[in-house]
Structure 1
Amino acid sequence: MKNFLLTGAIITLLWGCQSSSQSSQPVAIQEPAPTPAPLFPALTVQEKQHYHDAVEDMLRHTLYRSSFNGGIIVAKNGEIVYENYVGFHDLRQKDSLNADIPFQIASTSKTMTSAAVLKLVQEGKLSLNDSVNKFFPQFPYQGITVKMLLNHRSGLPNYLNYMEAGKWPRTQQASNNEVLATLINWHPPHAYQPDRHFNYCNTNYVLLALIVEKASGLSFPEYMKKNFFVPLGMTNTFVHTMNDSTITQSYQRNGAPWTLDFSDGPYGDKNVFSTPRDLLKWDQSLYAQSIIKQPLLDSAYTPYSNEKPGIHNYGLGWRMLLLPNKKKVIYHNGHWHGFNSAFARLPEENATIIILSNKYNTNVYTTAKKLYNLFGNYDGKQDDGEE
């Protein structure tokens, strides 16, 4: 087991250059972009060592005792204070994990799908109040807006349930368009009427990926690569499609490989593969407003489901933990087959906790929650495994 203490923030700058070997005209040389000012004060060596030791001690008494197989980054002020990779990429081949191996981040993908929608809103290409019927005229459910898809208040049925119970062959992976076709042709009943209740539903984000495609003219994987992954330097991040043959395998608790089924086809609700380092770049881009500006980010971090009091709520693609002491956690966990992901942001302390695993282990979630308290008083009830 190796621990890595990195002393600098991960910042990737993409510099363009221009050249022309055939032109006889002088070519202006583009000056390198100035290095951006740090977002947060630099940590001292002593501070970094303090956080490293505290995280290491916590993990030795929790996650590392539970057959953890995956990668971890904990950062403060954008600087990695703890990084470690434990176990194997392929449990059968026994090839060690490293920082460049991407994991399925499951429902943590929803934070990126939401950002894609918000970027299109920012550019005036769609509105949060647009009706879903604007994009899919044959859509049989009335009164549902883009915003209701984002905050899980659409009341739509979950394709994971009705397709498994219906006529869809379990071993035949479905595309996003095929999920849409089942909604139109099968018309399964609402779970709730629109905007009545919060009801976490993967169907919402399958449709949002299709709306991104309609509004942008690009496939969702292409849109995310062009507008997010490449500009942010997320070199090991991609949206998995059914045409991809090689991806990281996930495993059951006993080490048996998890078999794919019909639900592995759609993207938007899941199917982003990434690494802890790339997710930290994603996290820091949100603080820097690199792609999405603050007013829309604020709307994403606003709680929209207030039918009953509680510390849990949901924004636009983000879960929130709103504690009585006014502490706030902005996060999104994920669970898909043998993949577990925890991605938590503590905005008051500028701290980030990222844990990815490809061997089923619910201790990923409980450990992430315990790590909050290394940065402040975050005691409060949270459901384990909440996606």
Structure 2
Amino acid sequence: MPKTITAVFLLVAFLFQSCKKEQEKPLLAEALEVKKPIHDSLLLSIPFPLNSSYPSEDYMLQKKIAISNFYTKTFEPVDFSGSFLVAKNGVILYEKYRGFENFEKKIPVTSTSSLHVASISKVITATAILKLVQDNQVQLDQTVQSILPDFPYEKTTIRTLLNHRSGLPHYSRFPETIKGWNSKKVLTNHDVLDYLKRYKLALVFKNDTKFNYCNTNYVMLALIIEKVTQKSYAEALNTLIFEPLKMKNTFVFDYLNQKNDVSQSYKSTKVNYGWDQFDALYGDKNIYTNPRDLATFDLATYSSEFLRKDLWEEALKGYSYEKRGVRNYGLGIRMNEWETGQHLHYHNGWWHGSTSSYVTIKKDTVVIIGISNKYTQKTYQSIKLSRLFGDYPYELDSQNVEQ
């Protein structure tokens, strides 16, 4: 073949391949977009390594349709005011915000609104204690009295506070048992400890003999956190959890200074619950947060660099088997344990008009969060959505249970 013909042939071949590559570029880019269609606004992150992957576009679309159907049928008929979110592996599958933080001022609930999650605060308090265990500052089976000398019950341990097996009397019943009770006094955590000692209040049962859910346990745990860290409960949680995880809209309620600033709690759109003498107590409640921050916290529970795996295992196992049944309690977390071997962890909250639900499906790396500041028990129905992610024995409409 003559040299001129060969040169022309090679030039044509080169131009053809170049054109072909130029045509392939947008196709390749398009293919990459299909593989990673998730918008950054739907991603949650933590500063700890995780071994997880993003769900597919088909998976996300399928779940979003099913969750939307559930939300519409469950929450819209009750004129829901609050926030709702479902995420998998740090990817938000669905979220919804409606109603008002403050109905009088018409301040709407948004993705950054901090609402009172009531007893879900116990999950955070327990995690703070476990972080202190990890740092060798306390031990789970250490007696409370060794840290709080004024605590009057010798055998109570940190573990039996965490799993509600201490038998401590309920502070909400102090007015019934203490003569001359001052109903106008707003109690502090230290007041609760002082009353336990001063009035020698009897245990409901002997330590570690059975389960009895009691807010007093977590009021004491908050005092332990303060004593060990030499910080206020709010400052300690900021240091141990909120700041490391960048939970920017999460805080511990300051009763004296924030009553007029936080989201309100409602019986109806026109009736505000107001405050009572137990509203300054913390550890058992009084954490304000939003679904995105809480889902970020949940994501951290899958990282052993945030908290050691063996400590999560201690927290997630059941401790009360005196009676047969599905329900049990770990260290700051509720659980359902079915005979089929399925396990599901969660915690609900209620205080005044605020109700909340935190469902963490460990096997399927899914979190479901519902928070309301206008009273409704529908929030607790959120756990039924677990049926969308595994073989959990909850019933939903057929159109909602597509796998």
Per the alignment, residue 156 of structure 1 pairs with: 168
Per the alignment, residue 377 of structure 1 pairs with: 391
Per the alignment, residue 61 of structure 2 pairs with: 49
User: Does the 8 Å contact 1:5/1:52 carry over to 2?
Assistant: no
Aligned residue pairs: how many?
A: 355
Report the aligned-residue RMSD: 1.9
Does 2:235 correspond to 1:222?
yes
For structure 1, the residue ranges without an aligned partner over 5 or more in a row are: 14-35, 382-387
Instruction: For 1:83-162, list aligned pairs within 5 A.
Output: 83-162=95-174
Per the alignment, residue 10 of structure 1 pairs with: 44
Deviation at 1:163, TM superposition (A): 3.8
User: Does the 8 Å contact 1:140/1:184 carry over to 2?
Assistant: yes
Deviation at 1:7, TM superposition (A): 6.8
SS at match of 2:388: coil
**TM value normalised by structure 1:** 0.88
SS at match of 1:281: helix
SS at match of 1:73: strand
User: Does the 8 Å contact 1:102/1:275 carry over to 2?
Assistant: yes
For structure 2, the residue ranges without an aligned partner over 5 or more in a row are: 1-37, 396-403
Deviation at 1:290, TM superposition (A): 4.1
Instruction: For 1:1-387, list aligned pairs within 5 A.
Output: 8-13=42-47, 39-163=51-175, 166=178, 167-245=180-258, 246-253=261-268, 255-366=270-381, 368-379=382-393
Give the whole-Å Cα distance in 2 for the aligned partners of 1:103 and 1:299. 29
- CA offsets 1:305-343 (integer angstroms, 9 cap, x no match): 010111110001011111222221111110011111100
Question: Residue type matched to 1:194 in 2?
Answer: N
Question: Which shifted more, 45-54 or 87-96?
Answer: 87-96
SS at match of 1:243: helix
- The percentage of counterpart residues that share the same residue type is 36
User: Does the 8 Å contact 1:106/1:270 carry over to 2?
Assistant: yes
Residues 112 and 157 (structure 1), Cα distance of their counterparts in 2 relative to 1, 3 Å cut: same
Deviation at 1:257, TM superposition (A): 0.4
Residues 163 and 222 (structure 1), Cα distance of their counterparts in 2 relative to 1, 3 Å cut: farther
Determine which structure has more spread, i.e. the larger CA radius of gyration.
2
**TM value normalised by structure 2:** 0.84
Question: Residue type matched to 2:106 in 1?
Answer: K
SS at match of 1:116: helix
Residues 8 and 290 (structure 1), Cα distance of their counterparts in 2 relative to 1, 3 Å cut: farther
Residues 376 and 333 (structure 1), Cα distance of their counterparts in 2 relative to 1, 3 Å cut: same
- CA offsets 1:18-52 (integer angstroms, 9 cap, x no match): xxxxxxxxxxxxxxxxxx76532211111111111
Per the alignment, residue 29 of structure 1 pairs with: none
Give the whole-Å Cα distance in 1 for the aligned partners of 2:148 and 2:49. 44
Give the whole-Å Cα distance in 2 for the aligned partners of 1:318 and 1:252. 27
Question: Residue type matched to 1:151 in 2?
Answer: N
Question: Which shifted more, 328-337 or 157-166?
Answer: 157-166
Give the whole-Å Cα distance in 1 for the aligned partners of 2:141 and 2:49. 36
Give the whole-Å Cα distance in 2 for the aligned partners of 1:5 and 1:108. 29
Give the whole-Å Cα distance in 2 for the aligned partners of 1:37 and 1:291. 9
Deviation at 1:375, TM superposition (A): 1.2
- CA offsets 1:208-257 (integer angstroms, 9 cap, x no match): 01011111111111000111101101000011122332211100146410
SS at match of 2:278: helix
- CA offsets 1:44-95 (integer angstroms, 9 cap, x no match): 1111111111000111111221121000110122210001101111112222
Question: Residue type matched to 1:300 in 2?
Answer: A
- Larger helix percent: 2
Give the whole-Å Cα distance in 1 for the aligned partners of 2:305 and 2:253. 24
